[in-house]
Amino acid sequence: MKDHLTDLLFNAVKQLTDELDQNQIVIERPKLIEHGDFSTNIALVLSKILKKTPRDIAQLILDKLPETTHFDKIEIAGAGFLNFFLSPFSHQAIINQVIEEKDNYGGNKKGKSRKVQIEFVSANPTGPLHVGHGRGAAIGDSIARLFEFSGWSVTREFYYNDAGAQIDNLMHSVKAHCLNIKPDHKDFPENGYRGSYIADIAKDYLAKTSIQCAGHKIQASGDINDEDSIRIFSIAYLRNEQDKDLEAFQTTFNVYTLESDLYKNHQVDFVVNTLIKEGHTYEKDGALWLRTTDFGDDKDRVMKKSDGDFTYFVPDVAYHLDKWTRGFIKVINEQGADHHSTISRVRAGLQGLNKNIPKDWPEYVLHQMITVMKNGAEVKISKRAGSYVTLKDLIDEVGCDATRYFLAARRADSQLIFDIDLAKSQSNDNPVYYIQYAHARIEGVLNQWKGDRNKLWIDTMPSFETQAEKKLIKRISEFPEVVILATDELAPHQITNFLKDCAADLHSYYNDSKFLVDDELTKITRLALIYATQCVIKNGLALLGITAPKKM
RNA sequence: CUGCCCGUAGCUCAAUCGGAUAGAGCACCAGCCUUCUAAGCUGGGGGUUACAGGUUCGAUUCCUGUCGGGCAGGCCA
């Protein structure tokens, strides 16, 4: 419909001037129903070129537009906007289309089955997942669902930093507990983790428990001096915990990549050697440096420390080379904003490999930090201090659906305040229930009708008269465009906003009109409309990983 | 000090890559259930979009500066 309108306008404008190409024609969806179903500002854009007032130009374009069955009315409004109002013929077509496509309505094939990889959460296995990881999970998983709905072949991936100094830290913390050295003791590792979960790990380790992790059984030796065993057991323990939390959050992954494997398979060595060979490195102060300034960084970075270890971003580069080698032309990394400095380093490292990797590859979505409030005070999240608001706590207290909604409903790049008490007290009138309620209400009506909803279809020209009906039809017709927008912008919150509006339109309609009326034609028409709405809400909620209940 | 993100109703957040009268929810006020789910609807109050300039038909959006918040700038991850 939008494309059709663009064609019509382009052909009309061509008769006035040839100084305009097709992609300059912008079709918008007006906010107010009084402004129609579509509108264009083309006359305002042309006023400078044609040296006429926008309203005069709008009239000229209007005169050149051919007759069409799609629109009832086209009018000039405001400063010179052209507003288009859909005809009953179009209303019928839209509703029937939704009913026909059902679960697929709103999706598209723009991805053409191309591969996209989305990495998110990627928490270090040094503690339970907290609210910040939850935000990453909600946003990352929803982006993945959006890409699937847009016809991409999606791989969801989780990267474990299971090597490096923080893991040693973890091991020493657990070991201290095994030796009965508590966090407040002077011999407890200075940078150790002080959360109570460390004691749990130590207890299970001493009890020689076995843990299921990534399909393998990891058995604790119970030997206090066996640091490797403590390390492996601790990682397995925490990975297992994280997996359970993510499962409860309706989030799954296809691939888990371990940092330690990048060392084992010599991928890190390969990256370092290639960078040396390509002449992007130098030695200084006993360390090996990468000249990232060649690629836009403001400072060169150390790759290999004077003690022989690599800095964290070197395996990151190796990991991304691996992604590239696996054929992912499109890669999206969802991370916390505290990682923003790694972007330039990873990209610089990849450029230095001279493998024709695009400069802006991979793409990043960075979510800002969450401020957690509890009992009117800010909770500082610190793994080392052991203060926590875990994802599990949230799911238990607020519920999976509401938590996912809340965390996905805001732009990633705005800081947000999560008030635990407020979330709990409002759990009953949380916006997500408002949307789910609309879905359940429709289900109730359809059940009482007792007809076969799969045979719902409008085959005579419908007469939708009320504002409520027109608004609702316009809304559901916008869904495919919202999906495209949300996917292009990597912004799931567009879906939550849309659903809230869609539910509001439905509730208004519900209070405005009765559906199960005596007149058969009116009844079928109205039921078809709300059934179509139910499909849209269901599909939208699915993009957010939120359930669509039939009863509430 | 430098770079990135942000600043919108009392509070939490939107605003279709520059559009029409800046919108929702919570909170507050007044109405609506003998009829399909009142977890709902209808109406009302509440704004100099941090501030000052600039660009143009038109700015919450783009540019410059100031103020305020967050995150980075470790041979930590």
A238-253 pLDDT per residue, tens: 999 999 999 999 999 9
| pLDDT, mean of residues A502-513 | 95
CA of A345 to C1' of B62 (A): 29
CATH of the structural domain A91-110+428-543, one choice from 1.10.730.10, 2.30.30.40, 3.10.20.30, 1.10.3720.10: 1.10.730.10
Q: How many CA atoms lie within 13 A of A90 on its CB side?
A: 21
pLDDT tens digit sequence for A252-298: 999 999 999 999 999 999 999 999 999 999 998 889 999 998 887 88
Nearest DNA or RNA nucleotide to A489 (CA to C1'):
B17
Q: Which two tokens stand for residue A122?
A: 């990627």
Rounded to two decimals, the ipTM of the complex is 0.94
A346 or A398: which leads in pLDDT: A346
As a residue count, chain A comes to 552
Cα separation, A199 vs A183, whole angstroms = 10
Q: Which two tokens stand for residue A510?
A: 């519900």
Count of CB atoms situated within 10 Å of the CB of A227: 14
Distance (Å) of CA A394 to CA A130, A132, A420: 9, 11, 8
Give the list of residues 6+ apart from residue A190 with CB closer than 8 angstroms, or none: none
- Host H or E run for residue A365: strand A363-367
pLDDT, residue A381, reads 63
Q: Is 3.50.50.60 the CATH number for A2-86?
A: no
- Apex A392 CA angle, A539 and A381, nearest 5: 115
Nearest DNA or RNA nucleotide to A27 (CA to C1'):
B16
| Strand B close to A47 by CB, under 7 A | yes
A62 or A78: which leads in pLDDT: A62
Give one DSSP letter per residue of A308-344, joined into a string: SPBPTHHHHHHHHHHHHHTT-SEEEEEEEGGGHHHHH
> Where residue A387 falls among pLDDT bands split at 50, 70, 90?
low
Nearest DNA or RNA nucleotide to A412 (CA to C1'):
B5
Q: Between β-strands A255-258 and A301-304, what pairing exists: parallel, antiparallel or unpaired?
A: unpaired
Q: Which two tokens stand for residue A248?
A: 């409860």
Q: Between β-strands A370-374 and A377-379, what pairing exists: parallel, antiparallel or unpaired?
A: antiparallel
Task: Give chain A residues 507-536 with Cβ within 7 A of strand B.
Answer: 507-508, 510-516
| pLDDT, mean of residues A48-59 | 86
CA of A256 to C1' of B30 (A): 58
Q: State the distance between the two ends of chain A, measured CA to CA, in whole angstroms.
A: 36
Measured from Cα to the C1' atom, the residue closest to B23 is: A31
Task: Give chain A residues 303-322 with Cβ within 7 A of strand B.
Answer: 305-307, 309, 311-312
- Asked if A2-86 and A91-110+428-543 have one fold, the answer is no
pLDDT mean across residues, chain A: 91
pLDDT tens digit sequence for A170-191: 999 999 999 999 988 888 998 8
Q: Are A76 and A55 in contact (CB under 8 A)?
A: yes
Q: What is the pTM of this model?
A: 0.95
Cα separation, A159 vs A164, whole angstroms = 14
pLDDT, residue A384, reads 57
Of A518, A513, A524, A430, the closest CA to residue A472 belongs to A513
Going across the sheet that includes A363-367, the strands are A255-258, A153-160, A115-119, A330-336, A363-367
CA of A167 to C1' of B16 (A): 46
Distance (Å) of CA A256 to CA A155, A157, A248, A261, A319: 10, 6, 18, 11, 12
| Strand B close to A399 by CB, under 7 A | no
Q: Position of tokens 């809230």?
A: A500
Tell whether the model's pLDDT for residue A535 goes beyond 60: yes
Q: Are A157 and A257 in contact (CB under 8 A)?
A: yes
CA of A428 to C1' of B42 (A): 22
Cα separation, A151 vs A130, whole angstroms = 32
The structural domains of chain A, with segments of one domain joined by +, span 2-86, 91-110+428-543, 165-235
Q: Which nucleotides of B are covered by protein (CB under 7 A)?
A: 2-7, 11-17, 19-21, 23-27, 35-42, 56-57, 69-77
